[in-house]
Every structure is written in C-alpha cells, then in structure tokens.
Structure 1
Amino acid sequence: MQKNIDYTDGARSVLQNHIKPASQESKKHFSHFLQKTNKAFLPGSNVALAIKRVVFILPENFSLMSYAAAVDTLVTANLVHSDRLFDVSTYGIQSEKVKSDLGIEISTDGCLAVLQKPFLNEFHLIIVCGGYRCSTSENKLLSSVLKAAAKSKTMFAGIWNGAISFAYAGLMDDARCALHPDNHAFMRERFQKVAVTENTLETESKIVTSAGPASALTMMLQLIKQLQGREIMRAVRDILSCDQAEDNCVNQLTGMTYPVMPDNLRHIIQLMKANIEDPLSIDELADCLGISRRQIERLVRTHLNTSPSRYYLELRITYARRLLLQSSESITNIALACGFVTSSHFSNCFKDYFGSSPIQIRENFRRSLN
C-alpha cells in the first residue's frame, strides 16, 4: 500500500495551512477514536477517583495465567491515571505462600485467618482464582469469610472454578454461573440451585464469574467499568486487548460498538500511518488509492467525524507522544520523525492537544515511574 512520494515544500504548506499555532487557535481536541488512545495524557482527564480495594484469594494450584491476566488489568488501570485507582492485596487460604498450577510459589499478604469482619467491609471486590487442579471440596473458613463479606456492598468474582467457593457459601443460589467446562458436571450435581451455563462469562448483580484466562481479562474490564468508570476501562482495554479480535461478548460487556470500516477508509489510514515522517497531501492519498479527494473527505467525515487533514495530524501527534515517552530521542528528532518542519512548530501543535509542552509531558511521565 505504501507509495514513497517526495514531500515537496508546496505539499508541506498544504498540510500546515490546517495547523495554526496555539496563539492563533483555541485548544484542539482529539477526534473520538484517537481521544481514547491519548486519554490518560490529556489535561483534565485525570479526575480524582476513590481508591477501590480488591482482594485476590488463591487456593493451592490456582491458575497463574488467570491470576496474572486479572492483576494486570488493575495494574494497568493504575498506570493510565495520575492517582492510584486500585489497592490490590492477595491472601492464601491456609498459608501465606501458595503454589500455582505451574509449581511457582506466590507470597501473599497473609492467610484468611487474619481477615476479620470489620476489615472485610472495606473491600470493594473479592476475587477467588481457581485452577484445573484446585480442590472442589468446601473450605469452612473460606465460606465463612465470603458469607461475612456478602453482608456488605462487596462484589465477588470467580475465575476458572472459583465460583464453587461462592456456591458453598450460598451466594450462587438461583444465579447464572460460568466456570471451566471440566467442573460443569460437579457444579450441576452438587449445587442444583445454581444455573450453570455454557458461556465463558456470566454477570449477576454482585457476582461475576469467568471460565479461564481469556474470559478473565474480559471480566476484569467489566469490573473496572463498574468500579472506576467507562473511560478507565477503555484506556485499559486499548492497552491489553490489542491482539484480540473484537467479539460480541466484549461489545456487550463494555457497551462499545465498533462500526464496520470500509476498505477504502482502512487503506487511507494505512497509508497515513505508513507515511508519518513524510506526510502525503490529501490529493496524493487520492492518487495512491485511485479515488477522488471528495471520496476521502466523505469517508473520513462519515466514519471518523473529522477531516482527513485533522485526523492525519492527530495520528502524527499520537505517534510523537509515544516516541516522546518510550524513547530518549531529542524533541527535534521526534519532530522530524513525525513530519514537522521545526521543533517549535511541533511543540506548539503538541501543546494544543495535550495542554503541556513535549518536555513537560516527558518529565511528568518519568516522575510517575519513580
């Protein structure tokens, strides 16, 4: 798709006519699809949110892959906001050290015996992470802890066969349940009031259950949306779900709809991304694709709700932001790599969108890592 075209001074001026310095134009806002990509770095986006306390309960032989997928969503949520959103702790059932299904031992924050009733009321979410070789027998202490927590506003989530613990505590009666297929027969025979489904994820008012590692990620996105809002969920999803095909399950959970993108629009965006350093004019894009300039303008306006030049600029600014935070390149080199003639012109455009200069954004980001 890429067509290498020399970017003449005339062509550069065409694009620059769409880009005025901050002093001549009010602050710019990213169009919808690129706004969520840059959300965490935009001014005013990090509204103060209350910290939510999340507790993982790990039985022996828990699924390490499922646990990692779930914890990663919460850690990522903390990274996309200026303040900590989730306080995560982990407890073993009988010991402070718990062996996973891979034989890797995890050191927890304590065992269930230290969890007292007043302390349980402080938790917003309790997650039981099961695994293929986890025992299906009842643990009286775990049942007692879950029953006590259920009297508060605490939410519950079960991964793999974690829902079995909720069933023993009487929390799953007349509720739909998702769990690993290997445990369906046991759950149906032992707990006949539980509605075991073939779905990989089920959501009730206070309990969410998933069948394994892949559905655990989807489940955690749903819970993040409930606990901290849609925008945080979207930011986390964009980072962690980049290699997953969008399916009906995710759409239903996140409340997002993804319009079908026409081939020509997909090709337009591919060409723009392939020519960041030497941007093409809209007429050059049209020549490469064999369509008219008006067709390009209509496609971008209809599906992206902006103009081609504006979307191209936003792609370049987003590319610059990633280089800025992930490399040690100078501002001048980043400006050139993103198709800007001068570093001052780049800095003005960058500040129009992010409200801070490239240097300030880089320094703030590096401070947040310490």
Structure 2
Amino acid sequence: METFQSPLKQQNIGFRPSTVMSGHERVVRVAFILLDHFSLTTLSTAMDALATGNLINGETIYQVSTYSLQGGLVESDIGVSLASQRLVAEGFSHDAVIVVGGQRVRLAAQPVLRRVLKKSSGKGIVAGCWNAAFYLADAGLLETGDFACHSDSCGLLYEYFPQLKVSTREFICTQRRATCANAHSALDMTLAIMQELGAHNDAPLVDEIKRVHQSGHLQPKTADSLRCSAIPKPLNIALDLMEKNIEEPLEIDAIASQVGVSRRQLERRFARYLNAAPNRYYLELRLTRARQLIVQSDRSLTDVALATGFVSYPHFYKRFKDLFGLPPMTFRDYYYANDYASSGRYAVAASF
C-alpha cells in the first residue's frame, strides 16, 4: 500500500483502515457536567471535536459521559433536554471533567460539584465553559493563574472571588485547568485538552480536526506542514488551479505556463514546499476529493471517478486502493459498517 507524500496526508491518514481499532489505542474518559439551561451550542461544539477525533482514527479513543446534579433529563438554553447521570463524588473518575455553563445558567455554590471538581483536579484536566469558571473558582482551582469567562458573568465572579483575575482571552488551557468564554472558543479549548491527553502521535490529527471545523472550502496549502507565509506566489497560483480543476485535470505544463514559470521551476518549488512532484500532489488532491465524495454522498462510484478526473473506473479503483488500502466500494461499506459505527470510537454519542 502506497503512502501519501504531500501535506494532504494529514487530511487522509486517519481514514486509512490500517489504523482502526488495533486494540492498543489510548482511551480517554471525558465527563461533561451539564448545568441547568446549559449552552447546547457549547456542548455540541466540544463533543463534535471529540467525535471527529474518534472518526479520523488516531491512537486515542474518547469515551464521553454526561452528568448533572439531579440526573435524568437536563434542559438546555434552547429548551432541548439531554439525558444525564446523577453526579456523585464517590467513584467518579475521568481523565477530563468539563462543566458546561451558559447565558441562562444561574450561578450558586454546589457542594457536590465542588467535591467532584476538587477530587478530579488531582487526576486529570478540569475545565469550565462559558461562565462555569465560577465552579472551578468555588473549588479553589483557579488561584494560580488567569482564566476565561463570558463577559456577562465577570461582575459576579469579581464579587465572589475578588482575588482572581479574569483574562481577556477567549480560552485558556494551562496547568491542567481549562476555561473558555463562549461556544466559539469551546472548540479551541477542547482541542487543547485533546492535545494534552491524547497520544503523542495524534498531534497532527488534532490540527486536522480544527481544519474540519473551520469554515471555507478545502485549501490544501493550509495543511500543517506547509509554510504558508513563505510559499511563493507562483506556487499558490498553481495550487488554486489544481483545486479548481479537479474534474478535468490540467497538464502540468499548462499549469506552469499559466503560472509563468517553467515546468522545472514549478517542480522544484513543489519539491521544496510540498515534498511532492506536481503530478503526485495533483493525484493526491483528486483522491482526497474522491474520499470526501464517497463518504459524504451517495453518488455512484463511477460518478465519483469522473468527478475527480479519472477517465476509467479501473484506473480510479487502483489508485484509490493504493492510497486508502481498500477498493472504493469496500471503503464506503467499511466506513458505514454497523459494527464500526457502534464500536468504542463512537462511545462519544452513547449518552444521548
């Protein structure tokens, strides 16, 4: 089986079946504590990052549980209720504990929550979203540094904890304490937690999760190993031409001509900045698009082949199998197989 040579590897390596459920993955247990009228957007943002981490098959499995003070259904800020387990201090043990606040959450000391956070602080990361920093402060866990909190709740925190310092930053993750000020920054906070607790080799995949959740279409030159600020303009133009001509690929000579350099000059720049020849990068870009179409649509595989510039299905079949380890149809079936969807990698959704 061939390997990706260009920075597009980070967008695809997690989908290769050789890394799926080897039995040696690191398991990270994450508990979300939902306060009454918690921000549903904040929770879904954080959980989606973990679910994507499971989806792209790194060396870490994130298993998620939801808790609340009373147990049962907890109403979110928009009236949608989610199931939860009742929070008790005895036997509570997780690698990360994330308290989810929100605009409509009323802040008041909760003895059980205080005990849980104090106990958890010695074992893993303790985090608070939106205004949940209040509960970390109440447990005495924010004495040694700045923390993030939504601006609407800063006044109350100043009143109860005048010695503490609220940061102007939207999220902070340091010394196994993490806080974020709003739903948008919950993604960055969760990714920081994943980098802290996940396997060392998953670090590049965390960057890929961030790319997945950012707006905009695929831009290969934003890949992790690209030195974007140093990429010369002709190479950027060549990348854009490739991106815009997937279905009917251009000849490399034609790209070089439009860019205004010789083919040899273009090849040297691809080798220097992308670690791949132009035709190889172009192939990997087209197969990346093919993988997306196979996973995200029900288009026939012949249509996928044509949409990604392959003049014959047998040629597409061979090149796709070379890089992803499975034929296109088997890859689609494998990706959506019931036993895979219900495996430990999807435990993140089990509590719903």
TM range (shorter): 0.7 to 0.9
Mapped contact 1:51–1:84 kept (Cα < 8 A): yes
Q: Distance in 2 between matches of 1:210 and 1:336?
A: 45
Q: Please state how far the C-alpha of 1:95 moved relative to its aligned partner.
A: 4.6
Of 108, 120, 132, 1:137 maps to 108
Partner of 2:86: 111
Q: Determine which of 169, 174, 180 is the counterpart of 2:150.
A: 180
The alignment partner of 2:18 has SS state of coil
Normalised to the residue count of structure 1, the TM-score between the two structures is 0.81
Note the residue ranges of structure 1 that are not aligned, 5 or more in a row.
1-26, 245-250
In the alignment, does 2:186 pair up with 1:216?
A: yes
How many residues of Structure 1 are paired with residues of Structure 2 in the alignment? 330
Contact kept, 8 Å, 1:335 with 1:342, in 2: the verdict is: yes
Please report how far the alpha carbon of residue 183 of structure 1 lies from its aligned counterpart in structure 2 after TM superposition. 2.4
Q: Which runs of 5+ in 2 are unaligned?
A: 343-352
Q: Would the aligned equivalents of 1:143 and 1:168 in 2 still touch at CA under 8 Å?
A: yes
Shift of 1:158: 0.7
For the Cα contact (< 8 Å) 1:174–1:195, is it kept in 2? Answer: no
CA drift at 1:97? 2.4
**Maintained 8 Å contact 2:234/2:260:** no
Of 216, 221, 235 in structure 1, the residue corresponding to residue 208 of structure 2 is: 235
1:60 is aligned, of 7, 32, 36, to: 36
Is 1:36 equivalent to 2:10 in the alignment? yes
CA distance in 2, matches of 1:58, 1:176: 23
Query: Cα offset for 1:308?
Result: 0.7
Q: What's the CA shift string for 1:223-263, capped at 9, x where partnerless?
A: 1122223144133223212449xxxxxx9xxx988522433
Distance in 1, Cα, partners of 2:193 & 2:74? 25
CA deviations over 1:22-69 (Å, ceiling 9, x no partner) = xxxxx4321342001102222533453132211111112222221121
C-alpha distance in 1, partners of 2:133/2:216? 28
Quote the offset at 1:138 in angstroms: 1.0
* Other-structure match for 1:334: 304
In the alignment, which residue of structure 2 is the partner of 1:20? Answer: none
Aligned counterpart for 2:45 among listed residues 69, 76, 79: 69
The answer as to whether partners of 1:53 and 1:88 remain within 8 angstroms in 2 is: yes
Counterpart CA distance in 1 for 2:203 and 2:287 is 24
For 2:272, what is the secondary structure of its paired residue? helix
Equivalent AA in structure 2 for residue 37 of structure 1: Q
Name the amino acid aligned to 2:207.
R
**Distance (Å, rounded) in 1 between the aligned partners of 2:257 and 2:6:** 27
Three-state SS of the structure 2 residue aligned to 1:62 is: coil
**Counterpart of 1:4?**
none
SS in 2 for 1:81: coil
Which residue is equivalent to 2:345?
Answer: none
Whether contact under 8 Å (1:117, 1:148) holds in the other structure is no
Which stretch has the larger CA shift, 351-360 or 166-175? 351-360
Q: Which has the higher contact order (CA 8 A, sep 6+)?
A: 2
TM alignment of 1:137-286, pairs within 5 A = 137-151=108-122, 153-228=123-198, 229-243=202-216, 259-260=228-229, 261-286=231-256
The one-letter code sitting in structure 1 at the alignment partner of 2:209 is V
Equivalent position of 1:358 in the other structure: 328
Deviation for aligned residue 1:83: 8.9
Structure 1 equivalent of residue 65 of structure 2: 89
Task: Give the Å deviation of 1:141.
Answer: 2.0
The answer as to whether partners of 1:58 and 1:92 remain within 8 angstroms in 2 is yes
- Checking the alignment, whether the CA contact within 8 Å between 1:40 and 1:235 is kept in structure 2 is no
Runs of 4 or more consecutive aligned structure 1 residues displaced over 3 Å after TM superposition: 43-48, 255-258, 327-333
| Aligned position for 1:21 | none
Aligned-partner Cα distance in 2 for 1:95–1:362? 39
Q: Is the 8 A contact 2:34 2:101 kept in 1?
A: yes
Contact 2:118–2:139 at 8 Å: present in 1 too?
yes
Aligned 8 A contact 2:10 2:208 in 1:
yes
Q: Is the 8 A contact 2:97 2:127 kept in 1?
A: yes
Counterpart pick for 2:26 among 38, 42, 50:
50
Residue 272 of structure 2 corresponds to which residue in structure 1? 302
| Structure 2 length-normalised TM | 0.85
What SS does structure 1 have at the residue aligned with 2:30? Answer: strand
Residue 6 of structure 1 is matched in structure 2 by: none
Task: Report percent identity of matched pairs.
Answer: 34
Q: Which amino acid aligns with 2:228?
A: P
State the alpha-carbon separation in 1 of the partners of residues 192 and 226 from structure 2: 15
Q: What CA distance in whole angstroms lies between the structure 2 residues aligned with 1:49 and 1:239?
A: 22
What secondary structure, in the 3-state scheme, does the structure 1 residue paired with 2:336 have? Answer: helix
1:278 to partner: Cα distance: 2.0
Which amino acid in structure 2 is aligned with residue 130 of structure 1? G
Equivalent residue for 1:320?
290
Q: Is the 8 A contact 1:225 1:232 kept in 2?
A: no
- For the residues of structure 2 that align with 1:144 and 1:311, how far apart are their CA atoms? 54
Q: Match of 2:243, SS?
A: helix
Farther off after superposition, 65-74 or 40-49: 40-49
